[in-house]
């Protein structure tokens, strides 16, 4: 497939908006400070392409009036911290053309087809202050169908906020009024405020900031970082998911204990499978990073449509021998117990821990991309993110709902797992993953065989 792109340009809010600096919360500074790509495919619209394109651009400018921080830029301040400069510099928009039809893309499971359909950010040669927070690419196919490549800064928003913006843009494109305005004030997470407690909060209370385990006998992850990786999608039918949950629930301590969720069971299954196919020593320490939305875990819960990052990373730990030899339910309980710790008290303790740090640079992965250092959840570890609660399907810009949607692959590393709802609905799932190429085929085989 060959994709030809026109020069990009900036789309700015259609009306004047507030200008100035917005402080980011500590939760905006952790996890990924890079961009997260997704893609939507649509069949041929009923209107001509010029009208479609102009409607997309005009509605984008109008919705940016309400979501004006996305038209701004990040700036570094003292201590490796970031602020959001609401300067209406604009959202990058690119129009492109592909020399294939949508039907030529098969079942969309081969990620390389997305590479030229989603905007890229050159972190090595572009300053943060010059990088758009949102980059869009609209690509038209020979059949008249089109795709929307959506690449958004994770330092600015998390998945819930990104989908909120996308949904409101689609409403505006359909000619409908704003449904739910974003809550832009990040003071609910004490953004820009001093710490509430002293600096005696130890890193041992927040293990997600501790160095991750290396392979036994190694003093760095340098060798593992260099390994060739590959990415794929694994489909889990509703029957697959039910079998995994039933297997996990055999471990329940009593009939009154709540059954394990599909996320808990599938995540535990992925952890067990990775330990098996990586051939780790039984005493090899291994961790799994779990990304948790805390919107409803805070007291009181966050305002509706809070616009920013409201996620924390938690760490479940074990040894490879323990994870492989124990039951799926036992490993699922490790996942559940780790998630349960992310309550209001823990999140505020984490915020204070970060506020007491003189420099947050070491907790950000934007610089690590340039330096080849920083958090690495590859062998012997994993990082699992769930999109199961994101309303990512059914985004209609006025010419019908998407034909297919899925994640992009930019910056994917060994050990990155993403769990998505299946297209067919019900309880089906899709597990998108990146692993070292030498382990991928074994992982696929064991992943499915172990279910049966």
Beta strands, E only, 87-213:
91-98, 134-140, 146-153
The answer for residues whose C-beta is within 8 angstroms of residue 55's C-beta and 6 or more apart is 47, 173, 397, 398
Whether 344 is catalytic: no
Q: Is 94 helix (H, G, I), strand (E, B) or coil?
A: strand
Of the residues 35, 154, 164, 439, only one is catalytic, namely: 154
Burial 93-104 (b: 16+ CB within 10 A, else e): bbbbbbeeebee
In order of 110, 224, 240, 271, 309, the CA distances from 276 in angstroms are 25, 17, 20, 9, 34
Q: Tokens at residue 104, please?
A: 């030529």
Of the residues 85, 396, 411, 442, only one is catalytic, namely: 396
Q: Does residue 121 contact residue 33 with C-beta atoms inside 8 Å?
A: no
Dihedral of CA 127/69/375/208: which sign? positive
Whether 414 is catalytic: no
Q: Does residue 96 contact residue 34 with C-beta atoms inside 8 Å?
A: no
Catalytic residue list: 154, 396
């Amino acid at each position: 497939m060959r994709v030809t792109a026109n020069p990009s340009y900036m789309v700015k809010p259609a009306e004047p908006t507030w200008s100035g600096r917005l402080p980011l919360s500590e939760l905006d500074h952790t996890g990924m400070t890079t961009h997260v790509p997704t893609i939507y495919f649509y069949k041929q619209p009923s209107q001509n392409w010029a009208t479609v394109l102009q409607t997309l651009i005009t509605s984008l400018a109008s919705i940016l009036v309400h979501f004006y921080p996305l038209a701004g830029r990040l700036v570094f301040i003292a201590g490796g911290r970031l602020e959001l400069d609401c300067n209406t510099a604009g959202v990058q928009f690119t129009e492109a053309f592909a020399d294939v039809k949508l039907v030529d893309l098969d079942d969309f499971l081969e990620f390389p087809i997305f590479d030229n359909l989603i905007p890229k950010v050159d972190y090595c040669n572009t300053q943060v202050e010059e990088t758009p927070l949102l980059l869009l690419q609209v690509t038209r196919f020979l059949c008249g169908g089109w795709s929307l490549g959506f690449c958004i800064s994770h330092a600015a928003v998390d998945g819930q906020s990104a989908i909120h913006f996308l949904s409101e843009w689609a409403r505006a494109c359909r000619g409908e009024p704003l449904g739910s305005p974003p809550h832009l004030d990040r003071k609910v997470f004490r953004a820009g405020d001093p710490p509430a407690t002293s600096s005696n909060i130890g890193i041992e209370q927040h293990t997600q900031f501790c160095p991750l385990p290396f392979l036994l006998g190694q003093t760095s992850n340098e060798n593992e970082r260099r390994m060739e990786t590959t990415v794929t999608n694994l489909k889990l039918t509703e029957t697959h998911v039910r079998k995994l949950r039933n297997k996990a629930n055999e471990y329940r301590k009593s009939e009154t204990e709540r059954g394990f969720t599909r996320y808990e069971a599938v995540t535990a299954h992925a952890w067990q499978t990775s330990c098996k196919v990586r051939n780790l020593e039984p005493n090899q320490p291994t961790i799994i990073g779990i990304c948790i939305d805390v919107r409803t875990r805070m007291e009181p819960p966050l305002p509706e449509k809070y616009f920013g990052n409201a996620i924390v990373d938690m760490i479940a730990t074990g040894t490879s021998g323990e994870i492989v030899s124990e039951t799926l339910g036992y490993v699922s309980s490790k996942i559940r117990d780790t998630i349960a710790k992310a309550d209001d008290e823990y999140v505020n303790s984490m915020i204070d821990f970060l506020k007491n740090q003189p420099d947050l640079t070491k907790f950000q992965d934007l610089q690590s991309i340039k330096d080849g250092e920083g958090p690495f959840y590859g062998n012997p570890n994993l990082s699992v993110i769930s999109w199961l609660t994101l309303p990512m399907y059914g985004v209609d810009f006025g010419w019908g709902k998407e034909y297919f949607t899925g994640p992009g692959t930019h910056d994917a590393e060994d050990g990155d797992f993403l769990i998505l709802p299946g297209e067919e609905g019900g309880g089906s799932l899709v597990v998108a993953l990146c692993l070292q190429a030498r382990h991928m085929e074994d992982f696929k085989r064991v992943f499915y065989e172990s279910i049966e």
